[in-house]
Amino acid sequence: MAIPKKIRGVLSPVLTPFNTDYSVAKERFVEHCRTLLDCNVGLAIFGTNSEANSLSASEKMGLMDLLVENGVPADRMMPGTGCCSISDSIELTRHAVGLGCAGTLMLPPFFYKGVSDEGLYRNYATIIDAVASEQLRIYLYHIPHVTQVGITYGLIERLLRDYPGNIAGIKDSSGDWNNTLGMLEQFQPHGFDVFAGSEPFLLQTMRHGGAGCISATANVNAHAISHLYDTWQEESADRQQAALNVVRAAFQKFPMIPAMKSAIAAHRQDPEWSTLRPPLVELTEEQSRQLQEALAAISFKPNTPRPF
Amino acid sequence: MAIPKKIRGVLSPVLTPFNTDYSVAKERFVEHCRTLLDCNVGLAIFGTNSEANSLSASEKMGLMDLLVENGVPADRMMPGTGCCSISDSIELTRHAVGLGCAGTLMLPPFFYKGVSDEGLYRNYATIIDAVASEQLRIYLYHIPHVTQVGITYGLIERLLRDYPGNIAGIKDSSGDWNNTLGMLEQFQPHGFDVFAGSEPFLLQTMRHGGAGCISATANVNAHAISHLYDTWQEESADRQQAALNVVRAAFQKFPMIPAMKSAIAAHRQDPEWSTLRPPLVELTEEQSRQLQEALAAISFKPNTPRPF
C-alpha cells in the first residue's frame, strides 16, 4: 500500500453525543462527523473534547467501525488512541491503522504523575514496535494542564530519531505560544507536523510553517476556522483570526464541552444533545441561557455558513 | 444469597508481575497472591501499586477469573474497578460482583480535573444502578496526589444517604491523618469502614475504630503488618508500629513500586520480577544495590516470618 500524503489543516476533537442513558447516540455522531467533513474539518475523534476517556476501548473501536461503515473516509480520521494502559493503546492503534486512518493522536499514559521521559519513550516505542506498520502515523498529544504528564522536546527528539517514519507530529494544547513556536522552529523543518491546540493560535502557527490546528471550537465554528486555514495568506487573515477569537471567547466563559453541546442542542432543538457522561455535567439552565444570549449578541449559530 | 460479613483487616494492592515482553506473568501473580493470603493479607488487586491503570479491562477480568480458577477465595478479593470510563467501571464491577468478591475499590474518574461532586456522584450512582446488586460493596478510593480528583465528605454523605447498602467504606490515601480521623469520627459509626491508605497509620486507625489498612508495603512486609492488626490492643503495639515504619521508610527512599518489585526479584533470585509496564521503569542497578543494603541493614527479607 502506498503511503498517502499527511493530513493537514483543521481538525476537530469530535464531540461524542450521548443518549440520556449515557449510551453513545450513534446517529447523531455520524451526522455530526458529516457536518464537520462538509466544512473540510478532519475528524480527531476521541480527543479531550470527545470525552474519549469516558469511553471504553471496545466502544471506541465500535465507533471507528461505525463511521467507516457509514462511508466516512478513514483518511480524514485521526482517532485518539493513547490510554493509560499500553495494552489498550496497542489494540486501539492497531485497529485505527487497520482501518486506514490518517493518523492517531496519542496522549501519554496519565495516571502516574512525575514519570520519566524514559518511561514515556518506552510507552510510545512499545506501541510502535507492536503495531509494526509503515502506515502508522502518531501525533503526540501535549496537554499538560489535564494530563499533568507532558511531552518534552527531549522525548520528541529521541522518538523522531528512532522512529522517523511513525512519529508524524504533535498537537500542542499547552496554551503556551512559546512552546509551540519552539517546536515549529526545532521539529517542523524535519517533517514533524505541529498543530496548534486551538484556533486562537492558528494564524501564528501557519505563519511559522505549521500544519494547522486541532481545536475544540471546530465542533461549532467549523466553516470559519476552516476558511482561515484556506486563506491565511490573504489580506483578510488577521480580521478572520480576530472574528474566530470572539466566538472562542464566548464559549470559553463556560466549561467548553458542556457549552458546545448546549449550543448544538439549542440550535438543533434536540435537548438530548446536551448530555455528558459523568464525571462531566451539562450547563445549568441559567448558564445555557447566558450562552444563548452571548451567541445571539455575536449572531453566531453552530456550523452555519456565513459571509466571511 | 446471604450477604457475608464485611472484609476487614490488612489488604495489599497486589503487585502485578510482568514478563519482559510486558505480558502479565500469571504464575507469579497467583503465587504472590497465595503468599499474601498465607499471611492473612487480603487481595486489593488492581490498586495503584498493582499498575492497575496500565492493564486493560479485559486483562483485569481475565486475571480475576484466573485467581478464582486457581482456588483463591473471592471473598478475600477487593479488586480495583474504578476507571475513567463509566462503561469500563460498570463492566469490571459487575464481573467482580459476579465472582463474589468481597468488595470493589473504586477510584473516581481521573482524566478531567476540577470536576464537580455532582459529576462524581453521578459516576458512582450510575455504576451502582447499573450493577444493581445487594452483593455490591463499593470502597471509595481517595488518593488525590495521584488522581488530582478527591472524594469529599459531602460526596460520601450523599452516596451513603442514597446507597447505604452499597457504599461500604473508603481507602484514604491522602496521607493526611486529620482527613482520616474526620472520616473515622463522622462516617465509621454508620458502618462505613475506613481503611488507612498505608500501615504507618494502621495503629491510629484501629484505635479510632477503623477497619484496617490497605497498604502497598503489605506486598513485602505482610506478616508483620498483619500481626499488628491482630494484636493492636496488646502492649507490644507501639513497638510493632515503630518497626513497621522502619521498613516502610527503607522502601520509601525509592519509587515504591519499582522498589518492592526489585526487593522481591532479589529475594527470589528472579530478575524478571522487577519488570514494570511503561510509563514506570525499574530501579537503576545502583538504586537496587542501595535498596539491598538498606534492607540488609535492618535484616529485612520480603514476606519472611520473623519473631515479633
For residue B10, report the phi and psi dihedrals to the nearest 5 degrees. Answer: -105, 130
Cell numbers for A291, please give them: 450562552
Mean of all residue pLDDT scores within chain B: 97
| B148/A146 CB distance under 8 A | no
Contacts of B307 (CB under 8 A, 6+ apart): none
What order do you get walking across the sheet with B138-142 strand by strand? B42-43, B9-12, B212-214, B193-196, B167-172, B138-142, B104-106
- Name the β-bridge partners of B280: none
Q: What is the pLDDT of residue A207?
A: 98
Provide the 10 A C-beta neighbour count for residue A122.
19
Note if the pTM is more than 0.90.
Answer: yes
Contacts of B178 (CB under 8 A, 6+ apart): none
pLDDT over 70, % of chain B:
98
Distance between CA atoms of B239 and B235, rounded to whole angstroms?
8
pLDDT at residue B308 tops 80: no
Q: Which residues of B touch A149 (CB under 8 A)?
A: 279
> CB contact, 8 Å: A236 with chain B?
no
Distance between CA atoms of B281 and B276, rounded to whole angstroms?
6
Cell numbers for A152, please give them: 518534552
Q: Rounded to a whole number, what is the distance in Å from the CA of A56 to chain B's nearest CA?
A: 6
CA B195 to chain centre: 10
Looking from the CA of A69 toward its CB, the CA atoms found within 13 Å total 8
Nearest to B110 among A111, A116, A120 (CB): A111
Cell numbers for B207, please give them: 484505635
Q: How confident is the model at residue B34 (pLDDT cuts 50, 70, 90)?
A: very high
Q: What is the pLDDT of residue A306?
A: 67
Nearest to A119 among B22, B91, B278 (CB): B278
CA distances A198 to A134, A203, A212, A291, Å, are 29, 11, 9, 20
What's the whole-number mean pLDDT along residues B43-64? 98
Q: Which residues of A touch B91 (CB under 8 A)?
A: 56
CA distances B163 to B124, B133, B142, B295, Å, are 10, 11, 18, 45
- Catalogue the E-assigned strands of B182-289: 193-196, 212-214
Nearest to B87 among A56, A84, A85 (CB): A56
> CB contact, 8 Å: A77 with chain B?
no
Q: What is the pLDDT of residue B1?
A: 52
| B115/A279 CB distance under 8 A | yes
In the predicted model, residues of chain A with pLDDT beneath 50 are: none
Among A21, A54, A159, A276, the strongest candidate for a mutation testing the B interface, having the largest count of B CBs within 10 A, is A54
Q: What angle do CA A36, A41, A46 make, to 5 degrees?
A: 80
Which ipTM was obtained for this model? 0.96
Distance between CA atoms of B215 and B42, rounded to whole angstroms?
10
Looking from the CA of A115 toward its CB, the CA atoms found within 13 Å total 31
CB pairs under 8 A between A and B: 109
* Buried-exposed string B176-205: b where 16+ CB fall within 10 A, e elsewhere: ebebbbebbeebbeeebbbbbbbbbbbbbb
Q: Rounded to a whole number, what is the distance in Å from the CA of A108 to chain B's nearest CA?
A: 8
Cell numbers for B74, please give them: 473471592
CA B248 to chain centre: 15
Q: What angle do CA A67, A68, A74 make, to 5 degrees?
A: 105
